[in-house]
Amino acid sequence: KNEVEQSPQNLTAQEGEFITINCSYSVGISALHWLQQHPGGGIVSLFMLSSGKKKHGRLIATINIQEKHSSLHITASHPRDSAVYICAQPQGGSEKLVFGKGTKLTVNP
Partner 1 sequence: KAGVTQTPRYLIKTRGQQVTLSCSPISGHRSVSWYQQTPGQGLQFLFEYFSETQRNKGNFPGRFSGRQFSNSRSEMNVSTLELGDSALYLCASSLALGSYNEQFFGPGTRLTVL
The one among 13, 61, 74, 88 contacting partner 1 by CB under 8 A: 88
The one among 41, 57, 80, 109 contacting partner 1 by CB under 8 A: 41
The one among 31, 51, 53, 106 contacting partner 1 by CB under 8 A: 31
Report, in Å, the least distance between residue 102 CB and partner 1.
6
Residue 92 interacting with partner 1 (CB under 8 A): yes
Q: Which of residues 52-81 bind partner 1 (CB under 8 A)?
A: none
Contact status, residue 73 vs residue 57, Cβ threshold 8 Å: no
How would DSSP label each residue in 29-71? -S-EEEEEE-TTS-EEEEEEESSEEEEETTEEEEEETTTTEEE
- Distance in Å from the first CA to the final CA of the chain: 41
Residue whose CB is less far from partner 1, 21 or 77: 21
Residue 39 interacting with partner 1 (CB under 8 A): no
Residues that bind partner 1 (CB under 8 A): 29-31, 33, 35, 41-45, 48, 50, 86, 88, 90, 92-102
